[in-house]
Amino acid sequence: MSLSRPRPTFTSRFYFGLYSLTAALVLTSSLPSLAKSTPYPDSHLPVELQGQLVKAVKGFKQKKFAQATSDVESVAAGAQDTESLLFIISTLDGFGAPSVKAKRACLEKALSLAKTSDELLNIALKARQAECFDISKAALDSLVAAATTFEDLIDLAHKAHQASQHEIAQTAVKKAYTLVDNVPDVFTFAKESMNVGLEAMARTALKDLVEDQASTSELMLLMPKIGAFNMIDVTRLALKRGLEKSKTVDDYLAVYNQAKRFEQEDIVKVAAYRGKKLTLINKIKDEKEGPMRAKERELEEKERKAKEEMMRSTGQIPSGF
C-alpha cells in the first residue's frame, strides 16, 4: 500500500500565497533603492564613470583643480552621448572659472556627438552659460544649417525664444524670411516673428509686402490683414502707396474707405479731394469729347456693318446674323 501526499488545506494555501506576495513586494520595493545606490542615477553614465565623477567633484571642492579637471576629462572620454556629457557639466556649475577647461572638454565632445536640433540647442545653451562662446556659436551655426525648411526654422525660433536665446531666434527667423515667396507666407512669417518677440522683423516683412504691390486694388485688398498687426506706420504706408498708385475714381474710393476704417483722417481728406477732382475732370472730358466720340462710334458701326455684309456675300457668315 503506497502512501499518498496529504492534499494542502485551504489554510496552508492561503499562507503560502500570502508569503509569495510579501516576498514579491519586498523585492519590488527594493529595486528603486538599488538604483539610487549609484552616485548619479540620472546621468546615463556607467557605474564606474559615476565613481570617477564623484572623485572629480570632490577634487574641485578641495580646490585640487588640475587633478579634478583631468578626472572630468577621463569621464568625458568614456561618455557615449550628449545627455551624459551635459549632465557632467551640470555637476560642475558651482565651481566657476576653475571648471571651464573641464566643461569645455565635455562640450567639445557633446558637439561632436550631437545629432538632433534639441541636442544642439542644449549644447549652445550650456556653452553660453560656461562662457565657451566659440562652441556656442558652432552649435548655433550647425543648428541653423540643419534647419532647411520654413517650418523647421520657425520651430527653432520658438524653441530658442522659450529658452531666452534671442540671438538664436533672430538668426533662425532671418533665414526663414529668405524662404518666403508668397503673400500668405509673409503674413505667417510676420505673425510668428511677433510671437517670438521680433517685431522689427515682422515690420520689415510687411513693409516689403506693401512695396511689392503693383496697384491700388492689390494694396487695398491686403489692408484688413495688414491692419490686424496694429502697426500704424505700416498701415499708413500702405494707404499712402495706395494714393500714389491710384489712377481711377474707384481707386481713390477704395483708399478713402480703408483710411476711414483705420481712422486716418488726413488720408481720408486727400483721397476724397483727389477722387472728386478726378470725377470732375472725367465729366468735363466726357462733355468735350461727347460729340466727337459719337461720330467715331457712328463710323465704327458703319465699318462693322460693311464688313459683315461683305462676309455674308462671300458666305463666311450665315444669313440671319
pLDDT by 10s per residue, the chain, length 321: 444 445 555 445 544 454 554 444 444 444 444 445 677 888 789 899 989 999 999 999 999 999 999 999 999 999 999 999 999 999 999 899 999 999 999 999 999 999 998 899 899 989 999 999 999 989 988 988 989 999 999 999 998 898 888 888 999 999 999 999 999 999 999 999 999 999 999 999 999 999 999 999 999 999 999 999 999 999 999 999 999 999 999 999 999 999 999 999 999 999 999 999 998 888 888 777 666 666 776 777 788 677 667 755 765 433 333
Domain termination site, one of 129, 146, 163:
146
Confidence (pLDDT) at 282: 83
Q: Which domain holds residue 186?
A: 148-212
Confidence (pLDDT) at 293: 65
Cβ-count burial 18-43 (b if 16+ within 10 Å, e if not): eeeeeeeeeeeeeeeeeeeeebbeeb
Q: Is residue 172 part of a domain?
A: yes
Domain termination site, one of 125, 146, 167:
146
Confidence (pLDDT) at 188: 97
Is residue 131 located within the same domain as residue 166?
no
Is residue 203 located within the same domain as residue 174?
yes
Q: How distant is the alpha carbon of residue 28 from its chain centre?
A: 46
**Count of alpha carbons within 13 Å of 320, Cβ hemisphere only?**
1
Confidence (pLDDT) at 259: 96
Question: Of 222, 275, 289, nearest to 247 (Cα)?
Answer: 275
Question: What sign has the CA pseudo-torsion 212, 215, 216, 218?
Answer: negative
Is residue 73 located within the same domain as residue 114?
yes
- φ, ψ of residue 225 to 5 degrees: the values are -75, -40
Please give the DSSP secondary-structure letter assigned to residue 314. T
